[in-house]
Amino acid sequence: MLTENEIFQRTRLLVGDESMRSIAEKRVILFGVGGVGSWCAESLVRSGIKKLTLVDSDKVCVSNLNRQLMATVSSIGEPKVKVLRERLLQINPHAEIEIREEIFTVETAESFCIQNYDCIIDAIDSLQDKALLILMASKTKAAFFSSMGAALKMDPTKIHVAEFWKVQGCPLARALRTKFRKNHTLPARKFLCVYSEELLQNQGEENAIIPDGSMTFHKVKTNGTMAHITAIFGFTLAGLVLQNFTTKNKK
């Protein structure tokens, strides 16, 4: 079996030994391993993150094939977290990948003990569950990063990073802010988001979508999505996490 020194020799060259040790020790939890989260997980593990918890209750389905990292014809029907874990361990067999085939909800939130992690990543689709995670994560001392909506986008140059209250042109961010203000419950601190100001319209017929029995996380509507956009969102999230860990070591 390859050693971790061999696997991460190029990463070590860039960030140094101290940062590599720090990256390997950090505990990271990722909520949602779909179009955005799956690519984020891969980038984290390829960069040396070793202690990673993946949370997602969904199974791989036909409609995932166009954009989700672990989705293949042979993996259809399998739990996403299980398939992704198997892939990640093929990259680094030394990694400690925990999987939770569950949804983050009011009923399950406390069971995740998010306060025990060094970093929390939000790639949840459901507005209600996403809002809850934001509120809870912002009360912890963990680094926290969130993905806004990645559907209905084509132009990679319109993908940006901004503090949540400064995100522009994203319907999901707008809906979250409206929900927080309406409930008079705001995030406890500022946090960075990956988003795109682009907003296209679906062009295909809605009835052309083949029902596949997949869960939709209570989404009201199915929108078109492209792999290059979801991947960039996911890679950008991973970049924020790694930059956070390595920058602290240089101070």
By three-state DSSP, how is residue 28 classified? Answer: strand
Which residue carries 């988003």 as its tokens? Answer: 195
pLDDT classification of 204: cutoffs 50, 70, 90? confident
Taking alpha carbons only, the member of 83, 31, 71, 80 closest to residue 52 is: 31
pTM for the full predicted model: 0.93
Instruction: Write out the two tokens for 160.
Output: 């940006």
The answer, yes or no, to whether residue 211 has pLDDT greater than 60, is no
Categorize the per-residue pLDDT at 102 as very low, low, confident or very high, splitting at 50, 70 and 90.
Answer: very high
Residue 213 burial class via C-beta count within 10 angstroms: exposed 0-12, middle 13-18, buried 19 and up: exposed
- Report pLDDT digits (tens) over 38-69: 999 999 999 999 999 999 999 999 999 999 99
Domains in the chain: ranges and CATH? 20-250 (3.40.50.720)
Contacts of 197-206 with C-beta under 8 Å, sequence gap 24+, read 197/158, 197/160, 197/168, 197/169, 197/170, 198/152, 198/153, 198/154, 198/155, 198/158, 198/169, 199/152, 199/153, 199/169, 199/170, 199/171, 200/152, 200/153, 200/154, 200/224, 201/152, 202/152
Report pLDDT for 110: 98
pLDDT in tens, 139-187: 999 999 999 999 999 999 999 999 999 999 999 999 999 999 999 999 9
Report the SS3 class of residue 182. helix
pLDDT above 60 (res 225): yes
* Residue-wise pLDDT tens digits, 105-117: 999 999 999 999 9
Sequence-distant (≥ 6) Cβ neighbours of residue 173 within 8 angstroms: 148, 149, 164, 167, 193, 195
